[in-house]
Homo-oligomer: A and B are copies of this chain.
Amino acid sequence: MKIPLMKEILKTNDQVASENRAMFDSERIFSLNLMASPGAGKTSLILATVERIPRDIKAGVIEGDVASSLDAQIIASRGIPVVQINTGGGCHLDAPMVRSALSKLPLKEINLLFVENVGNLVCPAYFPLGTHLNVVIASVPEGQDKPYKYPDIFTAADVVILNKIDLLPLVDFDTEHFKRGIFMVNPEAPIFPLSCKTGQGFEEWVKWLLTKLRSAFL
């Protein structure tokens, strides 16, 4: 098996990402690429967000995992249309995988699509999927140094979620240091501290998301 130039891979990815975006726009589907470390709360964010959006906004999910369909099962059990992508050993989703998954979703019934990337703070940064927003989720127990150690993914973010703030009183986490780290690489990205467990902080996040969704298809 011959592996083509890395540049070619990225060029092909970006080309397909543009095609994905064109499809999202023509179908009027607002789409999010959720990127995070393993266990930061990607699936929890999807579920807790869907619970809080108006009923006329219909969600769909593309689930990316190295293996298993555990998260897809949880999402399907809530009545949300979902397609599972298993990457085998692959450490990130790419735009062609998303294109292929789109053909298996009831696109006409979806207004808001969550694409849950593989849990990884490195490689997903380099493979845009064509979504409207790149959402990076960090979580309190991971520590406040993540933007300094994994700058590229925070640079690629349109918005940053800080999850598990219910644990703030229990672990050492310097929120200001975390925010400064993001500001250094990405001064534009809003940051939403919240807890998928308690619901704290969701009002601001959902309000912001709905504003973005509504302004996308004016």
**Which residues from chain A sit less than 8 Å from chain B, CB to CB?**
1-7, 37-40, 65-68, 70-71, 89-91, 118-123, 125-126, 139, 141-143, 145-146, 148-152, 164, 167, 170-171
Query: Complex: how many Å from CA A170 to CA B195?
Result: 14
Query: Complex: how many Å from CA A27 to CA B168?
Result: 44
Given contacts A66-B149, A66-B152, A68-B145, 20 further A-B contacts (CB under 8 A): A1-B6, A3-B4, A3-B6, A37-B142, A38-B142, A38-B146, A38-B150, A39-B142, A39-B143, A66-B151, A67-B150, A67-B151, A70-B145, A70-B148, A70-B149, A89-B122, A119-B121, A120-B122, A141-B167, A167-B167
The answer to whether B91 touches A122, judged by C-beta atoms less than 8 angstroms apart, is yes
The 22 listed contacts between A and B (C-beta, < 8 Å) are A1-B5, A1-B6, A3-B3, A37-B39, A37-B119, A38-B121, A66-B122, A67-B148, A67-B152, A70-B145, A70-B148, A71-B149, A89-B126, A91-B91, A91-B123, A119-B121, A120-B120, A120-B122, A141-B164, A141-B167, A167-B167, A167-B171
CB distance from A187 to the nearest CB of B (A): 18
Q: Specify which chain B residues have a CB less than 8 angstroms from the CB of A39 in the assembled complex.
A: 37, 139, 141-143, 146
CB distance from A218 to the nearest CB of B (A): 36
The answer to whether B126 touches A122, judged by C-beta atoms less than 8 angstroms apart, is no
CB distance from A107 to the nearest CB of B (A): 27
Q: Specify which chain B residues have a CB less than 8 angstroms from the CB of A68 in the assembled complex.
A: 145, 148-149
Q: Specify which chain B residues have a CB less than 8 angstroms from the CB of A126 in the assembled complex.
A: 89
